[in-house]
């Protein structure tokens, strides 16, 4: 067992204890930063992992040291056997979490509780219904907002993921923070990141520095607290004194957290990515279906992980469009 654990340790000493599994490439929204306007070419159904295959691969990771699994998509809850997958994974000795757009969560409250899921990340990029319709290309704001309130009422730890885009929702930073005054919500502002088809450029990015500048202007410095981050946390966490909730910034572009990264990603079609920005991926599904060991593939992927953002260790490299030969976010898993 001790010998096997090393397959999740990279050349920089990082132990990969957190596996993110995308259940599907499908989604009931069409968010502009996640999916190209014309959609994506979907993998054939036969190329998508079955629930048995998801469990088998997940168990291999857990046996080798993974302690947390997050289910993503696409939208994981649109998959017909999503509840079954959750129930199977809940039998493993692992913390189970999920990221969702919130449209369907009211139908899964009982399943979440049955599977011991306590933390749910919900994507919400604007508190304005018309803006939300614009960025998601669908009209579900009211339902999602009500479902967020339902999750809080039912006792879940709710994290709201907000991708900030200059000229679109960057004027709503304080409005989001004010949600934490009377509700135990955890707002997470995410810097806009480049993926295939989302028309990214640095001019659209709202940086950690700019976000905090707005906070400093609006709130008295004595009421603004920097919280202790958890080990391997991607977010820099803050709180306004007296508020029930918190807010955080995930600064993948301007202030990356690669030194403590413990994440590895499995796409819905069984490809393993060692970094969100990786331009390469490795097939786990084919060797699994052929009855071969996948441990060798996992170890090779982990050992090939670069120190910082797939080698983009400066902003100049990050700005280079040739560095972003990647999938669309919907095909990677949020």
Question: What is the model's pLDDT at position 323?
Answer: 62
Question: What is the model's pLDDT at position 321?
Answer: 66
What's the burial of 64, exposed, middle or buried (CB within 10 Å: 0-12/13-18/19+)?
Answer: buried
Bridge pairing between strands 18-22 and 263-266: parallel
CB 250 within 8 A of CB 191: yes
Task: Please give the tally of structural domains in the chain.
Answer: 1
* Ramachandran assignment for 137, one of left (phi > 0), alpha (psi -120 to 50 degrees), beta (any other): left
CA–CA dist 305, 7 (Å, integer): 12
Q: What 3 state SS string does 256-324 have?
A: CCHHHCCEEEECCCCEEECCCCCCCCEECHHHHHCCCCCHHHHHHHHHCCCCCHHHCCCHHHHHCHHHC
pLDDT in tens, 60-101: 999 999 999 999 998 999 999 999 999 999 999 999 999 999
Phi, psi at 225, each rounded to 5°: -115, 135
CATH number of the domain encompassing residue 113: 3.20.20.70
- With cut-offs at 50, 70 and 90, classify the pLDDT of residue 330: low
| Rounded mean pLDDT, 138-157 | 97
CB 55 within 8 A of CB 87: no
Whether residue 3 has pLDDT greater than 50: no
pTM for this model (two decimals): 0.92
How many other CB atoms sit within 10 Å of the CB of residue 292? 11
pLDDT in tens, 215-269: 999 999 889 999 999 889 989 999 999 999 999 999 888 877 889 999 999 999 9
- With cut-offs at 50, 70 and 90, classify the pLDDT of residue 30: confident
Greater model confidence, 42 or 239:
239
> What percent of the chain lies above the pLDDT cut of 70?
91
Of 238, 100, 233, nearest in space to 174 by CA: 238
pLDDT in tens, 172-212: 999 999 999 999 999 999 988 765 555 667 788 899 999 99
Whether residue 116 has pLDDT greater than 80: yes
Q: Which domain holds residue 72?
A: 2-332
């Amino acid at each position: 067992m001790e010998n096997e654990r090393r397959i999740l340790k990279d050349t920089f000493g990082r132990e990969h204890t957190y596996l993110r599994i995308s259940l599907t490439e499908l989604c009931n929204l069409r968010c502009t930063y996640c999916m190209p306007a014309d959609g994506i070419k979907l993998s054939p159904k036969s190329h998508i992992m079955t629930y048995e295959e998801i469990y088998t691969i997940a168990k291999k990771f857990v046996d080798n040291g993974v302690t947390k699994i997050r289910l993503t998509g696409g939208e994981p809850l649109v998959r017909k056997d999503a509840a079954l997958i959750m129930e199977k994974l809940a039998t493993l000795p692992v913390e189970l979490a999920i990221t969702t757009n919130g449209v369907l969560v009211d139908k899964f409250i009982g399943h979440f509780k049955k599977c011991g899921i306590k933390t749910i990340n919900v994507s919400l990029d604007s508190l304005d219904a018309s803006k939300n319709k614009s960025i998601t290309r669908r009209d579900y704001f009211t339902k999602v907002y009500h479902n967020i309130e339902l999750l809080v009422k039912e006792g879940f730890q709710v994290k709201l993921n907000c991708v900030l885009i200059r000229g679109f929702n960057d004027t709503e930073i304080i409005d989001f923070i004010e949600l934490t005054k009377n509700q135990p919500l955890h707002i997470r502002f995410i810097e806009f990141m480049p993926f295939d088809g989302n028309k990214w450029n640095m001019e659209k990015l709202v940086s950690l520095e700019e976000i905090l500048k707005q906070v400093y202007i609006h709130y008295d410095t004595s009421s603004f607290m920097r919280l202790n981050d958890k080990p391997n946390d991607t977010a820099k966490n803050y709180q306004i004194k007296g508020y029930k909730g918190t807010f955080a910034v995930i600064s993948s572009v301007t202030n990356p957290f690669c030194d403590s990264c413990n994440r590895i990603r499995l796409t819905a079609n069984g490809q393993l990515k060692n970094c969100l920005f990786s331009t390469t991926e490795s097939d786990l599904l084919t060797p699994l279906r052929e009855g071969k060991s996948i441990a060798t593939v996992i170890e090779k992927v982990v050992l090939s992980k670069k120190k910082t953002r797939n080698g983009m260790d400066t902003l100049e490299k990050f700005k280079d469009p040739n560095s972003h030969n990647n999938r669309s976010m919907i095909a990677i898993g949020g």
